Structure 1
Amino acid sequence: MNHLIITPVVVPLLAGILLLLLREQDVAIKRLLSLGSLIAQLGLALLLVKTVSTGDIFVYALGNWAAPFGIVLVADRLTVWMLSTTALLSIFAFIYAMHSTDKAGRHFHALFQLQLFGLNGAFLTGDLFNLFVFFEILLLASYGLLLHGGGRLRTKAGLHFVVINLAGSTLFLFAVGTLYGILGTLNMADLALKVASVPPENLPLVRAAGLLLFGVFALKAALLPLYLWLPAAYAHTSAPVAALFAIMTKVGAYCILRIYTLIYAEQAGPAANLIENWLLPLALATLVIGVLGAVGSKHLRLQTAYLVIASVGTLLIAFGLNSQAGIAAGLYYLPHTTFASAALFLLADAIARRRGEMADRLDPGPVIASPRLFGGLFMITAILMAGLPPLSGFLGKFMLLRAALDHPALPWVMAVVLISGLLALIALARTGSLLFYRVQAASADNQSSNVDKPCFNELAPIVGLLGLCLVLTIWAEPVLQYTNSTALQLLQPYHYIHAVLGGRI
């Protein structure tokens, strides 16, 4: 076995435990340990990229118990793509947190690492029950991070977040229990074989369990109509936490892609393509709702949260095309929207700090410190979020539209994607005008905030995340080659099943 596979799970877990033991220590020690863990996770993710670049799928059997009886971790192209995106995002979110956020509570660093432990585990696991376990770990950590620093609005949003996700976890257990009761296994590869040969009398329950799982993953991804928990939660938490949460909706999207190209895929017999008639229409509606919410938002953080919902819609439109080109376009778009959304959350916080009582309210306010710098960063971020050429947002949407050319829903996809892009551009242009052009003379109350000069911990994460989007633009060809290979691997689930089960097929 290749022990490299388990390290993205072990490193944040051990770091989180150690940080809990050191919770009374000076914040500088905790920062050093946390940053070391994040750098190690990035290095491990990049090593895994190299490991799976040949197309091989690697399986790690915990306790050396063979699948489907033991717990397995599986590293393929999709897994490593998600691990790399998470590792890059977490480093920049953490650097921004070092500006002041991590001082608001002694458990921030431990929760941050445990959040990554849950995320990495969810991407690596090859077992549905352990997917549930890692979901609960990342959700428990996210509850603490969401409420970090306190406040009435944050507590109210956190309560909604907790209650809705607990309901989702209950449905997850119902689905898992149903599948285990009928098929006698929860290993994903083994489920793929047994669903394909399920007796007709058990087919309705297997389909019902699959639809329940879709509901749970749609909730995690904030797909319409299960998105209502997201705007307030993301808008009222601290900026680095909101930036890290940019990957949270992608966990739901990842699970939809994984489960419905493996267990309920073409080879699943009567249960094949279970959500094909649901995913694309819901994704189109989610994109519309997200953009309309962004247009109507009166605060920059809330507008960014709605743009996250819109990006989920765009991503799942690509996956809903159910083709190699569509999945490849979605996998290219996924890191772009994660990095761009995170950058906008951090930028919104930096701007709000300099507007005094106006904060991030979208009304004319005082001239902020370094307006050219922040105005320029906002313009670049807006171009990325709206999908204007020549940056990665435009390339992702162009690939999506090209992939939809042979799809029966092409007119709907074309209309919704293009019109939503126009509305997002209008919303962000209006925001930029209100923040940087339609300004008022600074009042005495705002003078102190206006002399607040940007520091490294503020600018470096924003510039770094935007730089990653630039990398996706400049090296679009090799990135797209990787995502095309990943999509092809997903649409040929036999290789995954054979890697996990080996001679037991």
Structure 2
Amino acid sequence: MNHWIIAPIVLPALVAPLIVLALRYDLLLQRVASLAACAGLLGLAVGLIAMAGEGPPQAYLLGDWPAPFGIVLVLDRLSAMMVLLTALLGLGVAGYAAGSGWDTRGRHFHALLQFQLMGLCGAFLTGDLFNLFVFFEVLLIASYGLMLHGGGAARLKAGVHYIVANLAGSTLFLFAVGAIYAATGTLNMADLAVKAGSATAENADLLRVGGLLLLAVFALKAALVPLHFWLPTAYAAAPAPSAALFAVMTKVGAYSVLRVYTLIFGAEAGSSAWLAADWLIPAALVTLAVGAVGVLGARRLGALVCFSVVASMGTVMAGVGLFTERSAAAAMFYMAHSTLAAAALFLIVELVSERRTRGDRIAPAPQMRHGELVGGFFMVAAIAMAGLPPLGGFLGKLMVLDAARADPAVWWIWAVVLTGSLVMVVGFARAGSVLFWRVEGEPAEGLSKPANAPLWATGAALAALAALTVWAGPVTGYMEAAAAQLHAPQDYVDAVLGAQTVAARALP
């Protein structure tokens, strides 16, 4: 076994308690430890990308207990990509929080950040449904603290809504894994892939119930309509660095759908095959439409960015819901691009709020400090999120549209994606013209001079978007290989269970 596979979970799991227990009274050392850990995590993620590209999936059996009885982690191209995306965001958020002073506005910011990274990496690497639930809870508990960081009545109220919605999701998750375990006697994903297709009629019904409950949980995490209600309020109230990191949390729902419904409920699942296919496309298209209308009607920049995240998840899930190799590759590419774009936009909200007398309200106000630079940042990020050329969002949407050509709902998908993109362009153009062109009055004297570190962090996020566009060819090739691996689940099963034991694991 390759022990590097567990390192992205162990590293933040060790650094977080170190910060709480040994460095809690020294902010400088907390920053150094957190930044070093995030840089180390990024290095590990790059190494995992190289490992995943060398061949089939690789399994790591904790304690060397054989699957499906022990805890198992699985590295493949998809999980390696998501760990890399998480590490990039983690390093950027740690640098932003340290440079802007956000980590001084509450306690334990860097420890919570490390726990959040641990939960995210664990969710992407686990090969067991119950441990997916465990890592969901780790990242959610950490996100509660990060969201409430800095205090305030509005943040506390939004945090309560966020917590209640996610606790409901966690309860459904437990019901789902209970039903699936009752039907199959296992929660190991590879073992479930073997047993799902040979379940008896009675057990198959129970398995489908568990699968549909899981779909509801993942739809809640991905903010699909009508389960999106928590996101605009929660993310708009969260601190800028926390919201930027939360940009990847909705992608956990998309990742989980890709993983579970191609591996467990894929073509070999008998009567449960492609369980989510009939539900995802309509929900994704409605989500895209609702998000685009929200962008057009938003009165604050924070709300506009939140609804753009909802719209982007509609596009991602439209690609996921087609359940083909081409659509999966398109969804992965757009997922990576939209995550970086959303993170940059959340940081831009903070830049605007600190430099205007009217905060992030989309209304005329006096000239802000660094207005030309911040306006340029906003234009680039808006182009990226709306899916306009020349940035990669345009390529991602083209790939989704191209993948939909063979689907019966092709005209609905094309119409909603293209119309939604147009509406988002109008919404972003309206907000940008008001914020950066309609200048009224003299600059206020009372605003404190904002730090420059957030400008650098935002510029770095936009540079990552530009790099993704420049290297779109190699990145797309990687995504296509990841999609092919995802739609060949037998390699995953063999890596976890061993080829010689697969036949023996089927249900009688």
**TM-score between both structures, scaled by the size of structure 1:** 0.98
1:123-161 alpha-carbon deviations (Å, 9 max, x no partner) = 010001101110111111011111111111100110011
2:88 aligns with: 88
Are 1:375 and 2:375 matched, yes or no? yes
CA distance in 1, matches of 2:394, 2:375: 21
1:447 aligns with: 445
1:165 aligns with: 166
1:504 to 492, 497, 501: 501
How far the C-alpha of 1:25 sits from its partner, in A, is: 2.0
1:314-367 alpha-carbon deviations (Å, 9 max, x no partner) = 1000111111111101111111100100001001101110102x0000110110
3-state secondary structure, aligned to 2:74? strand
> Does the 8 Å CA contact 2:106/2:151 hold for their aligned counterparts?
no
CA distance in 2, matches of 1:71, 1:315: 30
1:358-379 alpha-carbon deviations (Å, 9 max, x no partner) = 0000110110012211111111
Matched ranges for 1:235-250 at <5 A: 235-250=236-251
Structure 2 counterpart of 1:121, one-letter code: G
Identical positions, percent = 51
1:482 to 457, 478, 486: 478
Matched ranges for 1:190-229 at <5 A: 190-229=191-230
CA distance in 1, matches of 2:317, 2:405: 17
> Does the 8 Å CA contact 1:55/1:77 hold for their aligned counterparts?
no
Structure 2 counterpart of 1:342, one-letter code: A
Q: How many residues align?
A: 500
- Which ranges in structure 1 are unaligned for 5 or more consecutive residues? none
Structure 1 counterpart of 2:87, one-letter code: A
Matched ranges for 1:85-484 at <5 A: 85-98=85-98, 99-356=100-357, 358-442=358-442, 446-449=444-447, 452=449, 455=452, 457-484=453-480
**TM-score between both structures, scaled by the size of structure 2:** 0.97
3-state secondary structure, aligned to 2:186? coil
3-state secondary structure, aligned to 1:266? coil
CA distance in 2, matches of 1:401, 1:137: 36
3-state secondary structure, aligned to 1:447? coil
How far the C-alpha of 1:418 sits from its partner, in A, is: 0.6
> Does the 8 Å CA contact 1:23/1:106 hold for their aligned counterparts?
no
> Does the 8 Å CA contact 2:236/2:302 hold for their aligned counterparts?
yes
1:383-409 alpha-carbon deviations (Å, 9 max, x no partner) = 111111111111111111111112111
> Does the 8 Å CA contact 2:56/2:492 hold for their aligned counterparts?
no
1:494 aligns with: 490
CA distance in 2, matches of 1:323, 1:264: 14
CA distance in 1, matches of 2:8, 2:300: 37
How far the C-alpha of 1:454 sits from its partner, in A, is: 5.2
- Which ranges in structure 2 are unaligned for 5 or more consecutive residues? 503-508
3-state secondary structure, aligned to 1:267? coil
CA distance in 1, matches of 2:299, 2:371: 21
Structure 2 counterpart of 1:161, one-letter code: Y
> Does the 8 Å CA contact 1:23/1:107 hold for their aligned counterparts?
no
CA distance in 2, matches of 1:309, 1:238: 19
CA distance in 1, matches of 2:166, 2:23: 28
How far the C-alpha of 1:52 sits from its partner, in A, is: 1.1
How far the C-alpha of 1:504 sits from its partner, in A, is: 1.2
> Does the 8 Å CA contact 1:217/1:255 hold for their aligned counterparts?
yes
Structure 2 counterpart of 1:352, one-letter code: S
> Does the 8 Å CA contact 2:94/2:110 hold for their aligned counterparts?
no
> Does the 8 Å CA contact 2:197/2:268 hold for their aligned counterparts?
yes
CA distance in 1, matches of 2:218, 2:385: 24
3-state secondary structure, aligned to 2:59? strand
> Does the 8 Å CA contact 1:370/1:453 hold for their aligned counterparts?
no
> Does the 8 Å CA contact 1:319/1:327 hold for their aligned counterparts?
yes
CA distance in 2, matches of 1:436, 1:275: 44
1:183-236 alpha-carbon deviations (Å, 9 max, x no partner) = 111100001111110001222111010000000011111111100000010001
Q: CA RMSD in A?
A: 1.0
Matched ranges for 1:64-75 at <5 A: 64-75=64-75
CA distance in 2, matches of 1:369, 1:324: 47
1:37 aligns with: 37
Structure 2 counterpart of 1:22, one-letter code: A
CA distance in 1, matches of 2:275, 2:214: 11
CA distance in 1, matches of 2:155, 2:78: 34
Matched ranges for 1:38-77 at <5 A: 38-77=38-77
How far the C-alpha of 1:469 sits from its partner, in A, is: 0.9
How far the C-alpha of 1:453 sits from its partner, in A, is: 5.6
